[in-house]
Amino acid sequence: MTEYPPFAVTVDLVVLTVREDELCILLVRRGVPPYHGRWALPGGFVGIDEDLADAAARELTEETGVPEPIGHLEQLGTYGTPGRDPRGRVVTVAYLALLPDLPPPVAGTDAAAADWLPVSRIADAELAFDHDVILAAGLERARAKLEYTPLATAFCPAEFTIARLRTVYETVWNRQLDPRNFHRKVTGTPGFVEPAGRVTEGDRGRPAQLYRRGSADLLHPPMLRPSVTRG
């Protein structure tokens, strides 16, 4: 007998993308108890010899069919309130993933369904476990990081227009941004983006310059979030 009580460790993922100009979250509908039939964040138990980040990537694939993140994955926080899981003492390590638009996910073996859902549609939904708390933390982390890092580019394909990048900011922040001021700030911030050497093809109107993420890890000056939401 050990003097320490046993407990389990899980990983849960807040996976965000921008689809059809809406900020969307990847959710799975639980196919097993507890909370059978309720929407939840994708995740699961960590193996005894498994690294936390490896577990997060594995669970993302197993539960949804989405490949390992091609955008950005970072640890979000740890949640261990007693009673958060009716199966026993469970501590979860949450991860935040920011991804470009991907095909519809495929539910894994213990999920009844998986889907990208607009964040605006689940604001009042009751998620399983304490996933509403984790989701709220992930959304605020993503919105804040767009102010001082170039992580908005994680929502974009490898090459993108400034207009596409502005759509990401407007969607994630739910703010309307002035196109000219935005273009000036993005192209004038050292290391934010760099020209890809190509322009868009096949679009109506004048071809637009394509860019890719630059070398900066932090933005100076930062892209400050406007205080007024868009209508």
pTM across the whole model: 0.92
Give the domains, in start order, of the chain with CATH numbers: 8-147 (3.90.79.10), 149-213 (1.10.10.10)
Residue whose entry in the numeric block shows the structure tokens 């190509």: 198
Q: What is the pLDDT along the chain (231 residues), one digit of tens a residue?
A: 567 888 899 999 999 999 999 999 999 999 889 999 999 999 999 999 999 999 998 887 777 666 665 789 899 999 999 999 999 999 999 999 999 988 888 777 677 888 999 999 887 778 999 999 999 999 999 999 999 999 999 999 999 999 999 999 999 999 999 999 999 999 999 999 999 999 998 666 788 999 999 999 999 999 999 987 765
Reference 91, options 99, 81, 101; nearest CA is 81
Cis peptide upstream of residue 69 (ω within 30 degrees of 0): no
CA distance 71 to 139: 16
